[in-house]
Structure 1
Amino acid sequence: MYNLSLVTIVLIAANALISYKGFNDFSFFEKYKFNIGAIRRGEQIRMFSSGFLHADFTHLFVNMFTLYFFADVVVSGLGNLNFIIIYVASLILGNLLSLYFHKDEYYYSAVGASGAVTGILYSAILLQPGMSLYMFFIPIPIPAYIFGIGYLLYSIYGMKKRIGNIGHDAHFGGAIGGYLVTLILAPYLLQTNIEMVLLLALPIILLFVLHKMGKL
């Protein structure tokens, strides 16, 4: 989990360099951040570029620290190219879900690799559901699938209550991307680990049921 591949190092470096540029160049940050009005005017590049900008060093550190822990699981399980495919697909799907939920909020803006990183996290859980996570504030290991499901349930709650200045919908869209693309790239999981595949689908199904019912 801690042996970083070259592709992971390049991604972390790209996030750090582009984010640092954004920290010090307001016009650059404004030009490439996720913004509903600008995207609806045709600036689709923001759907991708916003995933390499961050609000501050803490935001950048948390995302890259999470990527650091889970990237190698996906690289080892599926290879460098598939890792990149999952990362980019999760980034885009995260922003697409944000666009869907905020399409009429022309001033809505967001930045960050959270969607892409959450997609990698969900992919890693699918590939190694037996992983355990250690949280700073909890002295016992947490099964990775419990963490993943709990995180998405919290994201649904955050979307409903609009908790904090956080793009919960982008996190959720990224998880959907990581889930679906991993199953496309590794269909054997549907045979070898069908219980975990179904379990991890539950919060995704819940999101769409709540949306259909008008609860989100």
Structure 2
Amino acid sequence: MNIGVIIIIVISLISIAGFSRPELIYKYQFNAWQIKNRKEYIRWISHGFFHADWVHLAINMFVLWSFSKAVIYYFMRSLPGNSSIVFLVFFFSAIVASSTFSYFKEKNNYNYNAIGASGAVSAVVFASILYDPFRIIYLYFIPIPGIVLGIGYLVYSRIMSKRNVDNIGHDAHFWGAVYGFVFPILLNPSLLGHFFNELLAIF
């Protein structure tokens, strides 16, 4: 059983427990005001283990399952250290990194709350795009090259973040995606050259 599946099982079990125990979500959801003023730093990580409902959980875990195995393989081939441990560090640091912008944006807003592993899942998807930018990703059963979907995703997340018309954490999606692209490059800068070589290979 690879580390991606273990993460999925753990997050699923905790999320399911949270469905019937709202006090858990209240205690562990991301709230920048609580982190700043009450020093509840565990919220940086713990909010990624809870989801709003079955659909929210199912989508995130399905996407994570779809991409984690490939990313772990890529890490094994290109990054130093044990690939499972590196992926574990990558995933949970992505939860923190994807929420950092929201922390500074909402640190004086007591009413801002967020849950879900979407930011970290976005990081996994974009790590996959770094390694294989033309891998086909299916969006509503429509095949789209990863790099095309990725650019569209970033633009959409940025626009929706500025509009702020729904309860979706578009900032976390955007910065999680950026982190997913940058993290492997920080450990192996040659991957940036690999990415551009992959892009140029089609010409």
TM-score by length of 2: 0.88
Matched, 1:45 2:42: yes
Aligned counterpart in structure 2 of residue 7 of structure 1, from 3, 7, 11: 3
Aligned Cα root-mean-square deviation (Å): 1.6
In structure 2, the residue matched to 1:213 is none
Question: Distance between the aligned counterparts of 1:175 and 1:196, measured in 2?
Answer: 19
Q: How far 1:129 moved relative to its partner?
A: 1.1
1:152-163 alignment, distance < 5 Å: 152-163=154-165
User: Which 4+ residue blocks in structure 1 deviate beyond 6 angstroms?
Assistant: none
Partner of 2:79: none
CA deviation vs aligned residue, 1:6-32 (integer Å, no higher than 9, x gap)? 201110011111101111112111111
Tell me the CA shift for residue 137 of structure 1. Answer: 5.3
Question: Which residue in the other structure is 1:68 paired with?
Answer: 65
Q: Pick from 84, 98, 102: which aligns with 1:98?
A: 102
Equivalent residue for 1:136, pick from 134, 140, 148: 140
Give the number of equivalent residue pairs: 191
What does the per-residue CA deviation read over 1:138-193, in whole Å, with 9 as the maximum and x for residues that have no partner?
3xx21001111111111001111013210001111211221221111232212222
Deviation at 1:196, TM superposition (A): 6.8
Gaps of 5+ in 1: 198-216
Identify which of 18, 22, 34 aligns with 2:14.
18
Deviation, structure 1 residue 69: 1.0
For 1:123 and 1:189, locate their aligned partners in 2 and report how far apart those are by CA, in whole Å.
11
- What fraction of aligned residue pairs are identical, expressed as a percent? 38
> Residue 173 of structure 1 corresponds to which residue in structure 2?
175
**SS at 2:144's partner residue?**
strand
Per-residue CA distance 1:14-68 (angstroms, 9 max, x = gap): 1111101111112111111111221112001001000010001100001001101
Over 3 Å counting, the alpha-carbon distance change for 1:159 and 1:80 in structure 2 is same
1:195 Cα shift? Answer: 6.2
Sort the Cα spacing of 1:137 and 1:10 in 2 relative to 1 into closer, same or farther, 3 A. Answer: closer
- Whether the aligned pair in 2 keeps the contact of 1:73 and 1:128 (CA below 8 Å) is no
Partner Cα distance (2:44, 2:32) in 1: 10
Following the alignment from structure 1 to structure 2, what is the Cα–Cα distance between the partners of residues 46 and 35?
A: 7
CA shift digits 1:90-136 (9 cap, x unpaired): 11111111112222212100000001100001101001112011222
* Residue in 2 that maps onto 1:114: 118
